[in-house]
C-alpha cells in the first residue's frame, strides 16, 4: 500500500503541477512528498519530473507512466468497491471535458440527473472548446465532434448522424436576405469559430451536384462556440454550427436553418478516452445515460432527395 500511496502522490503532483499541493491533499509534509517521489524515480530508474524553483513538469517518461498510474489506481478503486459488496454503487471521481455550447446547453443538466442516480460519485468538469489532451491532462473522458485524429484513442459513438447546419436569426434574414446557394454566403457576415488557433473559415456543403466549399468572412470570430451561437441569435450574422448546439434554438424560433437543398458536413459526437481500460463502470454508466438523452432529441433536418431538389428549383419563380 505504500507503493500505491506513492503512485497517488505522483498523479496528484502531475495534475496540480506542485509537490506542495499534492502533499497537502494527502496530509504529508513537502519533504515527505519529495522523498517519496525520489524513491519512486529510483525504483523506476528514470526521472519523472523536471523541477525548477518556479515550475514542475513531467518528463517524457513521466507522461508515459502517468497514463498507466491512472489505470492502476482506477482498478484499485473498483476492486475495493467489489470487496465491500458495493460494486453497484459508483464511487470515486470522474473527470470530464465538454465542448462549451453542448455542455452548457444540454449536458450539464443531464449530469445533475447522473449525480442524483449515483450520489457517491464526484464529477470534475471542464467546459471548454480547447481540445483536452486525454493523455496528459487530468481528464478521464471527453466529448468530441468528428472522428479522432489519433487512432489510438477509444471513441464510443453517441450521435453518429449529427452534422453542421448554417443558421441565422429571423431578424438577420429580414434585413439581409436568405442565401439560396452556399457561395452566396460570401456576401454575408459569417460568424466564425476558432479551434486550436485555426479559424474555421471554409464551410463545406453537399448538394445534388456534389460538394462545394465556400470561404467565408465576417467581423466576429471566437474560440467559444457558445459565443458564436449567441451572436447568431442576436442577429449579428450567419453561423455554421453543430445541430446538437442549435436544434433547441431552431425549435424555439430563435434561429432558422438555411440552405435546405444542401447538407452540412458531418459532425458525429463521440465519448473519447485514452485507453479501453479506463472504461470504468462510471464511464459506462455515463455513456449509457448520454446515449439515451441524445437519442431522444430531434434529428437534423433531412436533406431533400435529388429529385425533390430538382422539383423545387423547377417550381421556383
Residue-number span of the structural domain to which 152 is assigned: 89-159+268-300
Sign (positive or negative) of CA dihedral 269, 271, 273, 277: negative
Residue 317, domain member (yes or no): no
172 and 135: one domain?
A: no
Per-residue b or e along 71-91, where b marks 16 or more CB atoms closer than 10 Å to that residue's CB: eebbeeebeebeeeeeeeebb
Domain boundary among 68, 85, 102: 85
pLDDT over threshold 80, residue 308: no
Query: Is the confidence at residue 82, as pLDDT, over 80?
Result: no
* Contact (CB, 8 A) for 194 and 200: yes
The CATH code of the domain that includes 18 is 1.10.10.10
- Return the pLDDT at 81: 65
Asked if residue 313 is part of any domain, the answer here is no
CA distance 238 to 201: 12
CA 262 to CA 207: how far, in whole Å? 5
Q: In terms of domains, do 141 and 50 share one?
A: no
Q: Clarify whether residues 294 and 225 are in a common domain.
A: no
236-294 pLDDT, tens digit per residue, is 999 999 999 999 999 999 999 999 999 999 999 999 887 777 788 888 899 999 999 99
Q: What separation in angstroms does the CA of 34 have from each of 19, 54, 63?
A: 7, 15, 18
Alpha helices in 223-317 (DSSP H): 225-233, 243-251, 281-295, 306-315
Helix (H, G, I), strand (E, B) or coil at 164: strand
Angstrom distance (rounded) from CA 176 to CA 174: 6
Contacting residues for 41 by C-beta, under 8 A, at least 6 apart:
47, 48
**Residue 314 included in any domain:** no
Q: Give every CB contact of residue 92 below 8 A, 6+ residues apart in sequence.
A: 74, 77, 121, 122, 282
Regarding whether 75 and 101 lie in a shared domain, the answer is no
Beta carbons of 159 and 244 less than 8 angstroms apart: yes
Residue 305: inside a domain, yes or no?
no
Q: Which of 27-36, 38-47, 79-88 has the lowest mean pLDDT?
A: 79-88
Residues 47 and 6 in one domain: yes
- Decide if pLDDT at 37 tops 50: yes
Examine residue 49 and state whether it is found in any structural domain, yes or no.
Answer: yes
CATH code of 126's domain: 3.40.190.10
Residue 110 maps to a domain: yes
Average per-residue pLDDT for the chain:
85
Q: Give me the pLDDT at residue 317, please.
A: 37
- Does 21 share its domain with 31? yes
Inside any domain, residue 312: no
Average pLDDT over residues 104-114: 94
Residues 149, 187 within the same domain: no
Same domain, 42 and 120: no
Please report whether residue 310 resides in a domain. Answer: no
The strand pairing partners of 163, in sequence order, are: 266
| 149-158, 165-174, 231-240: segment of lowest average pLDDT | 149-158
Q: Which three cell numbers stand for residue 313?
A: 428549383
Q: What total number of domains does the chain contain?
A: 3
**End position of a domain, from candidates 63, 85, 107:** 85
Q: Rounded to 5, what percent of the chain is helix, strand, coil? A: 45, 25, 35
- How far does Cα 43 stand from its chain's mean position? 37
Helix (H) or strand (E) holding 215: strand 210-215
Residue 312 predicted with pLDDT over 50? no
Residue bearing the bigger pLDDT, 159 or 74: 159
CATH number of the domain to which 234 belongs: 3.40.190.290
**Inter-residue contact 165 to 299 (CB < 8 Å):** no
Amino acid at each position: 500500500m505504500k507503493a500505491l500511496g506513492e503512485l497517488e502522490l505522483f498523479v496528484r503532483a502531475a495534475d496540480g503541477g506542485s509537490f506542495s499541493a499534492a502533499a497537502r491533499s494527502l496530509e504529508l509534509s513537502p519533504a515527505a512528498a519529495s522523498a517519496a517521489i525520489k524513491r519512486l524515480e529510483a525504483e523506476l530508474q528514470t526521472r519523472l519530473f523536471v523541477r525548477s524553483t518556479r515550475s514542475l513538469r513531467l518528463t517524457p517518461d513521466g507522461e508515459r507512466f502517468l497514463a498507466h498510474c491512472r489505470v492502476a489506481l482506477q482498478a484499485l478503486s473498483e476492486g475495493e468497491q467489489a470487496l465491500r459488496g458495493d460494486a453497484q454503487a459508483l464511487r470515486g471521481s470522474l473527470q470530464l471535458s465538454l465542448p462549451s455550447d453542448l455542455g452548457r446547453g444540454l449536458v450539464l443538466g443531464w449530469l445533475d440527473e447522473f449525480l442524483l442516480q449515483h450520489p457517491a460519485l464526484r464529477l470534475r468538469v471542464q467546459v471548454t472548446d480547447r481540445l483536452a489532451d486525454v493523455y496528459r491532462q487530468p481528464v478521464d473522458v471527453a466529448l468530441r465532434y468528428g472522428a479522432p485524429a489519433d487512432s489510438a484513442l477509444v471513441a464510443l459513438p453517441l450521435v453518429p448522424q449529427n452534422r453542421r447546419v448554417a443558421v441565422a436569426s429571423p431578424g438577420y434574414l429580414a434585413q439581409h436576405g436568405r442565401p439560396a446557394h452556399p457561395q452566396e454566403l460570401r456576401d454575408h457576415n459569417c460568424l466564425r469559430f476558432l479551434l486550436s488557433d485555426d479559424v474555421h473559415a471554409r464551410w463545406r456543403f453537399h448538394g445534388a451536384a456534389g460538394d462545394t466549399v465556400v470561404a467565408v468572412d465576417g467581423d466576429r470570430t471566437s474560440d467559444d462556440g457558445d459565443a458564436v451561437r449567441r451572436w447568431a441569435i442576436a442577429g449579428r450574422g450567419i453561423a455554421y454550427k453543430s445541430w446538437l448546439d442549435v436544434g433547441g434554438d431552431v425549435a424555439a424560433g430563435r434561429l432558422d436553418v438555411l440552405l435546405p437543398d444542401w447538407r452540412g458536413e458531418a459532425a458525429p459526437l463521440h465519448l473519447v478516452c485514452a485507453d479501453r481500460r479506463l472504461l470504468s463502470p462510471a464511464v459506462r454508466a455515463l455513456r449509457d445515460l448520454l446515449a439515451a438523452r441524445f437519442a431522444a432529441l430531434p434529428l437534423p433536418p433531412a436533406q431533400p432527395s435529388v429529385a425533390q431538389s430538382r422539383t423545387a428549383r423547377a417550381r421556383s419563380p
